[in-house]
Amino acid sequence: MSTLITNIAELMTQDLEHRVLRDAAVVVEGERISWIGAAADAPPADEAVDAGGRAMLPGWVDSHSHLLFAGDRTAEFEARMAGESYAAGGIAVTMNATRATSDFDLTRLAMGRVAEAVSQGTTYLETKTGYGLDVEHEARSARIASTIADQVTYLGAHLVPAGQDPEEYTDLVCGPMLAAVRPYVQWADVFCEEGAFNAEQSRRVLMACREAGLGLRVHGNQLGEGPGVELAVELGAASVDHVNYLAAQDVKALASSWSGWDPAVGTGERGTVATCLPACDLSTRQPLASARELLDAGVQVALASNCNPGTSYTSSMAFCVTTAVLQMRLSVHEAVRAATYGGALALHKEAGRDTDGERAVGSIAVGHRADLHLLNAPSATHLAYRPGMPLTYAVWRAGVRER
Ligand SMILES: N=CN[C@@H](CCC(=O)O)C(=O)O
Ligand SMILES: [Zn+2]
């Protein structure tokens, strides 16, 4: 079954050549893109969809979310808006609510969040464990996550539960908890921050997880300068996320991690993606991550929602893109790229890395997964020009029309 989507006013491909086509068309065959080009040259297909002069982008790739949770932290948010600072301790509130929720309800809640994200144009997403924090509940979160998300990250090292010895808990994370989640996860992450895990504990967790065959990610430099970025680069993590407080040597380390990468062809030795989480930064009243400086230094940047009940209770990638343009000084093209191709890069799913038989995501090109986002606007610029407007008009995920 093939579908021709024609009359696309602006097709922002986010491919390796950064092409933006005008008066374009796309043909979808099964779950992949089989043709793109000028609408006037489009081949026939089984069915046709008139895009009505709207703009099309790749579906958003949300490379950082925490969707396996129950409960609500409105009171903590209100306190923060009244001047309190964010602290890692709030995670325990969500841990208690999550543990007390049945498998059925936790699955239903997480599925609902995925549906919300997809209805806003997200077509590929990662999510994390991290609100179970014992062997049984981390394994349960990982198992449920593997049924609702495209990729799953083990975040047993999110917080040391009250009353537990930090070193003993770190042993648990590196040992029995890792073994229990291992069948369900591709990545491991650690919250390397004051009040969570120190550099030595973080290193221990990351090395054990790497030994177990997991790719690495780090929550780092969110609440102050710290060792997270340095550790992520040293251990070859795929991404370091938050990056609000960067010393000059952190930017340098991130940039040099990409020195063996050729962005024009998307090959070479990959570095550590800096993932910026602007919705979180606004909700925690942290300085917005310096995405402009990072891009100018040659770092590959992703934008992600960080959807979670504590610091960023939104899955709106459009909001992140809007903020990146209006407040972080990215161009619309750069912001959309960070929220599509950048996320794919952080998840090892970008063009050229189609090693496991699934199609590349985060860009529109022949052979890639047909993850398409049609805006109710003639150009992607409207994402910033009309902030907060519901601009998602249609979504295809792996070739299936979702909306
Ligand atoms: N910073 C660490 N973890 C989450 C927040 C977790 C929470 O407060 O529930 C984040 O990415 O912001
Ligand atoms: Zn997070």
Atom 12 of ligand 1: nearest residue by CA position? 311
> Is this complex's ipTM strictly greater than 0.90?
yes
Question: For the chain, how many residues are written?
Answer: 403
Tell me the C-alpha distance between 306 and 284, whole Å: 12
**Contact criterion met (CB below 8 Å) for 338 and 345:** no
Res. 206 pLDDT band, cuts 50 70 90: very high
Residue to mutate, 197, 245, 311, 312, ligand 1, most ligand atoms under 8 Å from C-beta: 311
Minimum-distance ligand 1 atom for the alpha carbon of 64: 11
To 10 degrees, what angle do helices 135-148 and 103-119 make?
A: 40
**Contact criterion met (CB below 8 Å) for 37 and 25:** yes
**Ligand 2 centroid to residue 133 C-alpha, Å:** 15
How confident is the model over 260-300, as pLDDT tens digits? 999 988 889 999 999 999 999 999 999 999 999 999 999 99
How confident is the model over 362-398, as pLDDT tens digits? 999 999 999 999 999 999 999 999 999 999 999 999 9
- The number of the ligand nearest the C-alpha atom of 96 reads 1
**Contact criterion met (CB below 8 Å) for 143 and 159:** no
Give the number of other CB atoms < 10 A from CB of residue 346. Answer: 32
The distance of Cα 259 from the centroid of its chain, to the nearest Å, equals 23
Pocket of ligand 1 (CB under 6 A): 66, 90-91, 94, 191, 219, 222, 280, 306, 308-311
**Contact criterion met (CB below 8 Å) for 73 and 310:** yes
pLDDT at 21 over 70: yes
Ordered domains of the chain (ranges, CATH): 2-58+363-401 (2.30.40.10), 60-346 (3.20.20.140)
Residue to mutate, 76, 133, 153, 158, ligand 1, most ligand atoms under 8 Å from C-beta: 158
Can you read off the two tokens belonging to residue 89? 């301790």
DSSP state, residue 379: S
**Ligand 2 centroid to residue 191 C-alpha, Å:** 8
At 7, phi and psi to the nearest 5? 65, 45
Of the candidates 287, 234, 235, 217, which has an alpha carbon nearest to the alpha carbon of residue 66? 217
Mean pLDDT, rounded, of the chain: 96
How confident is the model over 140-175, as pLDDT tens digits? 999 999 999 999 999 999 999 999 999 999 999 999
How confident is the model over 73-111, as pLDDT tens digits? 999 999 999 999 998 889 999 999 999 999 999 999 999
Atom 4 of ligand 1: nearest residue by CA position? 311
Tell me the C-alpha distance between 362 and 18, whole Å: 12
Res. 354 pLDDT band, cuts 50 70 90: low
- The full DSSP string for 206-228 is HHHHHHTT-EEEEEESSSSS-SH
Atom 11 of ligand 1: nearest residue by CA position? 306
**Ligand 2 centroid to residue 241 C-alpha, Å:** 7
**Ligand 2 centroid to residue 305 C-alpha, Å:** 9
Res. 33 pLDDT band, cuts 50 70 90: very high
Beta bridge partners of 128: 153
DSSP-H helix ranges across 212-270: 228-234, 248-257
pTM over the 0.80 mark: yes
Of the candidates 239, 174, 230, which has an alpha carbon nearest to the alpha carbon of residue 204? 174
> So what's the pLDDT on residue 355?
47
